[in-house]
Structure formats: C-alpha cells, structure tokens
Amino acid sequence: MSLKAPSCVVRVEDVLITHELSSRPTPSPDLRLENATLHALAKAMATDPGSMMQTLVDSALKLCNAGSAGISLLDERAGVFRWVATAGACAPWAGRTAPAEFSPCGVCLERGSAQLFADPGRFYAWLRDKSPAIPEALLVPLREGKTAGTIWVLSHDGQTNFTSEDARILTSLADFTSAVTERNRAASALETIDARHRFTLSATHLGQWDIDLATGVVSVSAQHARIFGYRSPPCWSYEIFLKHVVPEDRPRLDRKFQHALATGEDWEIEYRIKRSDGTVRWLWARGDVYEREKGRPLRMTGLVMDITDRKRNEEELARAKVRAEAASRAKDEFLAVLSHELRTPLTPALIMASLLESRKDLPADVHDDLADIRRNIGLESRLIDDMLDLTRIISGKLRLEFQQADIHLLIRAAINICQKEGAPRITADLRAARHHIHGDGARLQQVFWNLCNNALKFTDSTGNVTVRTSDAPGNRIRIEVIDTGVGIDPQVLPRVFNAFEQGDMSMTRQFGGLGLGLAISRNLVDAHGGVITASSAGKGRGATFAVELPTIPATAPSDSNNRSQGVSRAATRLSILLVEDHVPTLRALKVVLEQKGHRVTGVSSVGAATETAGRESFDLLISDLGLPDGSGLDLIRKVKDSFVGRSIALSGYGREQDIRNSREAGFAAHVTKPVDVEHLEEVIRETAHVH
C-alpha cells in the first residue's frame, strides 16, 4: 500500500535547502584522514564483509564531524526504508523503519543526488518527536547492485552546518563502497558458481536424472537413489520408475511425461512413490526437454526432491487454519453472548431508572441518585461497546457509513451527552469556517464523546474543559479538546493511544475504565484520513488532544435527510406487539411504552407472538431475538407480510453481523440493549413515519 503524505503546514520544498551547499564556506579537505578512512573501509570489506555497513557509517560520522550517521536501505515490498546501520546519537535507531513515500530518503533517491534538509520534522511529522532534534540532515544516494538506499549524516547541536565538502565525502564513500563491492562480487562469481551448484543439490537434497531418448538409457545420481530407498544408483529405466509411483498418481504423471515428449515443453509435478522399504513419500520433479533434432526431443534431464515434510506441514497448516478460524468464530460468538448476557439485565434497570427520574414528586436527592444510576448503566454499556468495537477494529470488521457530516453539530451533540452536574462546564469555541466532512457522523461523534469524557474524567470540578475548532492548512479542520486536569506523564504520552493504556495502576483504580476509548478513537480517525495527537506539559498541567480531518465544501442536505430532520416529534399512539422473554425487561418496556401513550400487548415466545399477530392487528412489532422456542428472526419471517417496514429487533447482540441478519430477515430497525427510552421512542417514530 502506498503511504501518502498528509497535508502539512509546509511543503517539502520549504525544508529542502540543497542549494545552500554551493554558497556555504567550504573547509579544506583532510585528504590524509580521508585516504586512511577509505583504506580502513576497504580492509573491512575484504576481511569482514558483514561489518561493511557499520564501518561505512562510522567513517561518515567521523569525516563529516556529524552528530549521527546511518544507512537506510529500501524495502520495496514493505514500502519502507530500513535503518540497517547507525552511529552517533542516533545509534539506538538501528532496526527502525521510515515510510518509503514520505521520508527524506525517498526524496533523495528520487532526485538521484545529495539533498540537504533544514529541520525536516516541520514537514515529516514522524520525525518531530525524534530525540535528539534534527536541525540539518544531509543524504546521498547509495546503490549496491540491486540494493537502493541512502547514506546520511545529521546535526543535533544547531551549530553544525553541512557543506558541499560533506556532500563530496559522502558521495565518495558511497561510490567507493559500490565499486569495491562490485569488484569483489565479480571476482568471486566464477569461483562460486560450481560450488553453489554442488551445495544447492546437497543442501536441498535434490536428486538428478537424465534420459537419452534415442537409446532409452537412464542415469540417476546417488541422491536420487537415496530418495527412492537405495544405497547406490540401481539399474534404472522409465518403466522401473513408474512401478515406484503409487497407482493413484501413475496415470497423471505418465500423461505429463508423454505430453512433454510430444510438445517439447518443460514440465513440473508433485506425486507419491513407494520406496524400496515400503514407505510412501511425496516427491517434486521437474523435467527439461532439449537437443531437439527435426522437431524430435533427444534428451530429457531433470531434478527430483523429497517434499514429504513440506506436504505434512501444509496439511498441518491447513488444519491449523481451520482450528484458528474456528477459534476466531468461537471468540466472536463468546463476545457476542457475553455482551448479550451483560446487556440484558441492564435494560429494565435503565428503563425503570429513567421512568423514576422523570417523576416530579420525588425528592431532589432521589433524583440525583437515579441520575447516577442511569449514568452508570450507560457507562457499563459504553464499556461493552468499546470492547466489541476494539474486536471489530482488530479483525477488520468495523464498517463505516460515509456521508456529509457537520463537525460542529457532532461536537455539540457529544458535549450535550458528556456534560454532567458537578463536573467542569465544557466551553465550545467553534470558529472553523470549514466544518463539513465526508465521514461516518456517528463514529466521529463517538470520538468527540471519548475525548470530552476523558477530559471531564481527569479534571476536577474547579478546572476547565474547552473544545475548540479552527481551520488548518490543506482544507482540514483542527479540533482540540483542552483540559486543566491531571495531565499526562511524559513517559506515558507515547503510549496513550495503545489499548488498555492508562498510565499506572493508580490511575485505573482512581478513574476506572478499560483504557480502550483512545485506541478506538485513533483507529476511527485514521479510517477517516485524519490524525489524532496528544500533548501535555506533564503531571498536573492538563492535556490537549487534537484531531485533524479533511473537509469538504458544504452542500444542501439530501431529500432523505430533509425528511428525516422534518419528522414530527409529536407523539403518535400506536398498537404495539412486544415480544420479550426476559420478564423484568418485558414489564419495564410495557410500562414505559404505555406511559408514552401506546397500547402494548406483551408476549414471551415465537408461538404466542405468531398466534397473537394472527388474531389482532398491530401497528408495530418489537421483538427480542433470543426467545425460548426460536428467535426473533424466525418470528419476523413468519409475520413479515403483516409488519412490512413496521418491525424493530431488540437484542443484546450488537455486532455488525447481528444487525445485518436482522435487516435481511425483515426487521426495519435493530436496537441494542440496554435500551435507552428516548432512543427507542425515536426509532419507533422513525419506523412509523417511514411506513
């Protein structure tokens, strides 16, 4: 996958100052030191080729008086540059990688000459957090055979300025290395070709065979004989060979052989033999036809190799894959069942808490207690959702629905959800002129909810939380959530977006949570082509989380959106058939729906629901999916004609597959437990309106 450079404050041309090399004062070359260094480098190549790269960067560091030096080689398959050797302050960087299409190395290779960068972290965001800082970087292309990369030196003190002399030295080192390596390679090529052939046959346990097609004489190597179970090459013929092939594979192999004789084409095949000791082995064979005279093949030669172990491994891998897929399905099913079992008992508690909270005759302290109960049930549901979201992200099953969305509306909605009594007031400073994006509004609102909720959680009631938007370069919007809370330890900051990361255990004990919200937020922002970052001056000094997203020009809402926004909020009395086998949930839902003015008939099974639907007429069906004598999917299939577009699935199962199954079975909507009363009423209104 190509890695695209994000829109940045500056362009790459703004950090490239290669033209300054020719104008800077150039020191006199130390030819004695340079010659001594090249001599040492040549000696290292001859005596210890494995140390060549390290010797090269050590030489560059010394000759250019640099703070760091290194070699980065291009790995085209992975799309990265690998830092194969480093020296100086950046010695610990050895083994790291940089994106091939967004790095100084890529620019240097593309332009094919020395390139000088000033403060490259201004453009390459992944370099900004590198320590020590990099005021200047000088890179020179390095090519060794088919290998491509760069040799580079860095300054860290802000005082060292590279010159054209440094560029000449690096170019000299690169050219010298390539020349010596090429000479050594050419000198040893002829010497090793025969040894390599012998080694290959020995190391790979290849047997050789040869057939003179004019005389029928067959010769085989000693290894060929051992593969077939003989100590030394026996008298051999094609007929003897076929007798060793197991009967099931013999016709297929003979067809291959005869086709090669008729066409002169080379061939390759895998088959089984029975060795002289009676054991069955898998073999791979290849044959080449040559010395054709008047269209007739005169000779065929080839190789044979025992691949029994490989075949066994392939079979074991296939079995392991089946087991892994079964384990993955079992894990998904376990999480689905777990979430269902956790959600189901929360539904009646959430509904009854909401009902009681709406009563005006209860004391204020009771109202506060009920609000706490409702919020904690919501938090429990959020933890379950986070667990499932992370699982979807890891397995690549998270689906996003992209359409035009207004970031400012999403932020205000998230703030309304997060704002709590006794907590800091969230101040919204929404100044961005461009605030429409192409994305999944619900998922982005989830991101803003996470960030606002985190800010409130880690800020006491005397602190401040501000959500600010502004226009960012490159038609992007920047959203910042700023708090004055406990701050983030510098050692924790690089890991803050890792799953289950909450600093130390004291944080977890004090503030709770699983540490999944920021990990999920990062993945959701990434999926929208955005960037999320965190910064903090340290413990006790607050934190800032910033999100940047690409914007689009605002367009008029679609007709469907206009209709949706124009749906009347006036209550509509409906006749509802409610199917739920969890008695507390059935009782609570019946009470709340009747209080909303609906007429509700409650039953607890597929059979009772089918009978009731056949006997009475209803405006709407709301059915749980897990029922004692079947499922809600079975029920909707039976009564679909009576409830086309007027049915709502109710379930503790909330995976993408569960929602898709509900839709495909015939439900118009899917509501995941625990059921929020207002959300359920909204779905009921929308379903009734669509019908």
Mean per-residue pLDDT pooled into runs of 10, the chain (691 residues) = 47 92 85 76 68 85 92 89 92 89 92 93 86 92 76 91 91 76 53 51 73 86 89 87 93 91 88 92 89 72 89 88 77 65 70 71 73 64 60 61 88 80 83 92 84 88 91 94 91 79 46 62 88 90 94 68 39 85 85 88 92 91 89 89 86 77 89 78 78 46
Residues 582 and 526 occupy one common structural domain: no
Q: What's the pLDDT score for residue 338?
A: 64
Question: Given this model, what pLDDT does residue 363 score?
Answer: 79
Q: Exposed e or buried b for every residue in 230-246, given b needs 16+ CB within 10 A?
A: beebeebeeeebeebbe
Strand partners, 271: 283
Domain that holds residue 533: 400-555
- The torsion of the CA quartet 60, 62, 67, 69, rounded to 10 degrees, works out to 20
> Do 412 and 529 sit in the same domain of this protein?
yes
Whether 571 and 550 map to the same domain: the answer is no
424 plus 531 within the same structural domain: yes
Query: In angstroms, rounded to a whole number, what is the distance separating the alpha carbons of residues 347 and 380?
Result: 11
Q: Which residue, among 519, 526, 524, has the nearest Cα to 500 in the 3D structure?
A: 519
Domain assignment present for 365: no
User: What's the pLDDT at 391?
Assistant: 60
Q: How many CB atoms lie within 10 A of CB 506?
A: 9
pLDDT at 502: 53
CA within 13 Å, CB half, 510:
11
Under 8 Å CB-to-CB from 395, ≥6 apart: which residues?
328, 332
pLDDT number for residue 2: 40
Nearest to 284 by CA among 204, 350, 210: 204
CA 454 to CA 511: how far, in whole Å? 10
Structure tokens at 529: 């082509």
Same domain, 172 and 213: no
In a domain, 116, yes or no: yes
**Total structural domains within the chain:** 4
Asked whether residue 50 is assigned to any structural domain, the reply reads: yes
Specify the amino acid at residue 139. L
CA angle at residue 200 from 194 to 206, to 5 degrees? 120
CB atoms under 10 Å from CB of 589, counted, come to 25
CATH number for position 114: 3.30.450.40
Of 289, 306, 323, the residue at which a domain comes to its end is: 306
Domain of residue 212, CATH code: 3.30.450.20
Six token digits for residue 586 = 């059935």
Classify residue 19 by its DSSP letter: G
CATH of the domain at 674: 3.40.50.2300
Residues 605 and 543 both lie in one domain: no
- What is the pLDDT, as a whole number, of residue 378? 63
Same structural domain, 163 and 213: no
Tell me: do 487 and 566 sit in the same domain.
Answer: no
Cβ neighbors of 672 (< 8 A, separation 6 or more) are 343, 651, 652, 653, 654
**Per the domain annotation, does 168 fall within a domain?**
yes
How many Cβ atoms from other residues are within 10 Å of residue 570's Cβ? Answer: 6
DSSP-derived letter for residue 296 is B
Complete DSSP assignment for 70-123: EEEEEETTTTEEEEEEEEETTGGGTT-EEETTSSHHHHHHHHTS-EEEESGGGT
> Do residue 603 and residue 537 come from a single domain?
no
Q: Whole-angstrom Cα distance, residue 466 to residue 426? A: 6
Residue found by looking up tokens 């040549």 in the block? 42
187, 217, 240 — which closes off a domain? 187
Q: Which of 306, 338, 373 is the last residue of a domain?
A: 306
Structure token digits, residue 206? 């290849």
Q: Is residue 373 part of a domain?
A: no
Give ∠ CA 99-102-106 in degrees, rounded to 5: 90
pLDDT on residue 119: 93
What per-residue confidence (pLDDT) applies to 295? 65
Residue 164 lies in a domain: yes
State residue 579's pLDDT score. Answer: 93
pLDDT at 481: 95
Given a contact cutoff of 8 angstroms between Cβ atoms, the answer to whether 411 and 428 are in contact is: yes
Tell me, yes or no, whether 418 and 531 share the same domain: yes
Q: Please indicate, yes or no, whether residues 300 and 239 belong to a single structural domain of this protein.
A: yes
135 and 230 in a single domain? The answer is no
